[in-house]
Chains A and B, each alone.
Chain A
Amino acid sequence: MPTAAEIATLESRRATRMRWWLSTPALAVVFLFAVAPLAVIVLYSFMEKGDYGDVKYWQFSLDGWFSVFFERGLFDDSIGIAQAHVSILWRSVKLAAITTLVTLLIGFPTAWFIATRPERQRDFWLFLITIPFWTNLLIRTFAIQEVFRNEGVLNSLLLWTGLIDKPFQIMFTDLGIFLGMAYVYLPLMVLPVYASLEKFDFRFAEAASDLYATNSRTLCHIILPMTRPAIIAGCILVFIPALGAYVTPRLLGGGKNLMLGNLIELQFGQARNWPLGAALSLTLTAAVMLALLVYVRVAAKSGGRAHG
């Protein structure tokens, strides 16, 4: 007869085997088709560029990484800043940041509005936010195009009221990209902020109010600090896809107003500079990881404060 301890050991071995068997398929799928390709990209960023796309295998070179920020002169070996790349990087960060800020300024009051409705109405408003959230990004970008184009709703309206006498150009401008991104990413801000406000204990706000705090002071000193993790979560959820956006700038920005996502595509397509494309992809990934890291830090800190 095996002892109780032996049975326990056998049981735990069985459990270990079991959980490995169960998780292996998912881990394998993600490894093969998401993690491993990223590792390949890292390798590619350090190789010599091929003549017609691809790379020259096992010929290592730092040119890809070098060209992310610098370029060599056409006629001599002078080294200058790669103006085009730096300006696209800067534009991407700038547009993503403005998009995040504007979605926050509109999204917070919207989430507040939903959270302060009577319980039975809440589901209805929430439903209205969820529909765009679930609708294909491509289709929402197309919808906003209908409004922005020169013969679109906005221009027709402005022309009709006589405020302008020739169409106001929004498509193919930075303004168009930013407005389009704010439109498509807005639900990503509203939903997490709403989730937090919905659970918010309004007795804290009432206490402040009883102590003669005005509503705006209560908002700034009680509600905003206590919902900070959710606000930051919303900002991260908007900032990350906005920074790597591909579809929206492609359709609203046209050929000239590139963002980082389009620059990456260009390197794998027309420019046929795969190592540079790989290095740019990793630069983007690093920026995203940095944003996530900041989020984890800040969320951990304010989480502790809210309960402490």
Chain B
Amino acid sequence: MQRRITRILAATAVLGLSLTAACGGGGSGSSGAQDAAKSARGPITVWYSNNEQEVAWGKSMVSAWNAAHPDQVVTGQEIPAGKSSEEVIGAAITAGTAPCLVFNTAPSAVGQFQRQGGLVDLSTFPDGAAYVTERSGDLAKQYQSAEGGYYQMPWKSNPVMIFYNKDLFKKAGLDADNPQLATYDQFLEAARKIKSSGAAKYAINPAPTSEFYQTQFDFMPLYSAESGGKSIVTDGKATFNDPAGLAVANFWKTIYGEGLAGKETIQGDAFASKTAAMAIVGPWAIAVYKGKVNWGAVPVPTSTGMPIGDIHTFSDAKNVGLFTACQNQGTAWDVLKFATSAEQDSALLTQTGQMPLRKDLSTTYADYFTKNPSYKEFGDLAARTVEVPSGPKTVEILQTLRDAYTRSVISGQGDVTTSLNEAAAKVDSLAGSR
């Protein structure tokens, strides 16, 4: 047996040595081929998100295009898997099997996809940059790459707010029509009442888990508001450990410390199941909770209780990427413009409730907002959204912050300030390198 183990070890060594030689890079796609693809037309494949409302929009958009362009047929399908769709796209880029367009590219993943050489810079189309800025106005800036290109088409945002359950608020003896939730103190007082009255198990229940993206749904929205619209990283320096960031972290720490939010993952939707009386959600929630929860919406709280007109929030945007693996990029670009036209944006807004990243959203679709007053505030907020930091290190930055946050805020271990400072130092070196 021992001889056998020795043999195994030897085999490992040999394998390691002999095979490194065989591992060169490969591939022959040249820039010439990319230029040819840019104007090529023909059938293409697109992916859209897999929630019910977006699937419906995606299907009707594709059939509308196909009816008018029988020679350039678009095949649409749902993105495989939810949480991990970025991994699937990343792997598909590496293998050269990515579809032409993905109508659900998370901005946090774009930096890596770009570095992988997986995304087409839309500004290399003759009308590319003009189209993007014409449609999205100033909002487009947050989605520009460091060199000024557009590796994503800013598509739609889900500016997040606080949803509250009116029935549970009444049960807790709170004013359900005009709840006092603007300042941290008011918010905490309401939360304590919900808990002590037994109206709900938790006042609010953001996911307490360690996945990097969860930062976007507890810390970031409140930080965007508290800091007056700052990103968590500005000019290669972490900002989340500034006084605004510490105020937000300590606010959440109080929430967790007093058991006003759960530290345990809840299967399913805590807000829908009435386990929690409040939730941090975007406008997608209006369609989802229709008929299930008697809800109201308020902006996220700040320490001073800013008026809604000054509130910034996290965008939770999903954009569209055009991938280099696409053979018929000419068609893909046309489809992209078709899918983001005023007409299709209107369909998207009506069917999904999500906000197209257009300048002057509330005036362009004024009719819609008059008819659906519940969307009005989201529409206003859509003009003041904050995005995750750009670049290839976004995920690592978010994970670093998340680890510090789960430790010091959710588990309540150690000092919040020290913990955030340590994370900031690490993020500085990450954001600074490359």
Say whether A and B bind each other: no
